[in-house]
Amino acid sequence: MKKYLLPEGGRFYKANLHCHSTLSDGRLTPEQLKEAYMARGYSIIAFTDHDILIPHPELADENFLPLNGFEVEINDKVIDWDLTKTCHICFIAKDPENVVQPCYNEAYLFGNAPKYKHLVKHDENEAPYWKKRTHEGVSDIMQICRDKGFFVTYNHPVWSRETYPDYIGYKGMHAMEIVNYSCVASGHDDYNPHVYEDFLNIGQKIFVVGGDDNHNASPFESPRCDSFGGFTMIKADKLDYKTITDALDAGNFYASMGPEIYDLWYEDGEVHITCSDAVKIQLNTFSRAKQIKYGEKIGDTVNEATFKLYDKEVYFRLTVTDATGKHACTNAYFLEDILGE
């Protein structure tokens, strides 16, 4: 039986799910960000300013959807910032009416955020939330915000100086950033398929997103520009807030730095993919039995691949790589879920 892993119907909407504006420590206003991103084919921005959930419904129109969100940072005690470990998490409200910020504490506000704290809605009967960068502390804030209707993503572990013993105990995320472009543009190796594999190999069924984490300190024409390099392609029937966040919840998307994935399906023990021009298409699996498709000669491109899956595999995911070395990454799909439906 043919099962589409990305929905057969609908269309793809290009999204930046990690974005900073002048409301915290970014250099561009939400209005300027909308204009710049729409000019480059984006339909969605999640505005995730630091520690403040401020909606931007005034930016919405038939071609553009702002998602409500915020980012928190959970730092160790700072002695030397360049050596300090931190954990950053984005929270995106699944419902447009969900504008009350959980786990709020104005003591953490920095940059321009204190000037806008009067715009933040939070439960004034709740005590200020104090963050702790421990497995339990990070998992607690992830789970609280998840329970309160937010889509939770774990961000840029390399820039954060987090290694396996740090992140592997975090629970409650929906997804992690497989690429954070701002970090990549500034010299950090935050293309993180190995971190994703670490989570998958202990049975965490999470997704991957691409985000810019843009602050726009450099102009768009600069090689240091931190916009337009990491994005998420969301497959949905329409550009409607709840339709898009339902697609996020269902995993109907892939992460990319450039290549496009057109179709992805499973049928009779095989996974099939079609995509834009690629120098290779790779199947990553739970076991060592990885598979890869190249063109016939060096420099040739491929646009599709079919891989046979073995019964021993627990999950699989695919990576499309273009001639410039940029990647598109699918979510992981667990065979027990595919075969059990």
What pLDDT score was predicted for residue 311? 83
Is it the case that residue 1 has pLDDT exceeding 80? Answer: no
Is it the case that residue 171 has pLDDT exceeding 80? Answer: yes
Contact 84, 52 (CB under 8 A): no
Rounded mean pLDDT of the chain? 97
| Residue 83, SS3 per DSSP | helix
Averaged pLDDT, 88-94: 98
Averaged pLDDT, 52-63: 98
Is it the case that residue 341 has pLDDT exceeding 80? Answer: no
Contact 76, 133 (CB under 8 A): yes
pLDDT in tens, 222-246: 999 999 999 999 999 999 999 999 9
Averaged pLDDT, 287-293: 94
C-alpha span between 38 and 270 (Å, rounded): 37
Confidence of residue 183 (pLDDT cuts 50, 70, 90): very high
Averaged pLDDT, 265-293: 96
Write b or e for each residue in 60-88: b if 16 or more Cβ atoms lie within 10 A of its Cβ, otherwise e. Answer: beeebbbbbbbbbbbeeeeeeeeeeebbb
Strand partners, 142: none
pLDDT in tens, 10-28: 999 999 999 999 999 999 9
Confidence of residue 303 (pLDDT cuts 50, 70, 90): very high
Is it the case that residue 132 has pLDDT exceeding 70? Answer: yes
Percent of the chain with pLDDT over 70: 100
Cβ neighbors of 17 (< 8 A, separation 6 or more) are 44, 46, 48, 67, 69, 90, 92, 153, 209, 210, 211, 232
Both tokens of residue 241? 């807030």
pLDDT in tens, 93-123: 999 999 999 999 999 999 999 999 999 999 9
Is it the case that residue 60 has pLDDT exceeding 70? Answer: yes
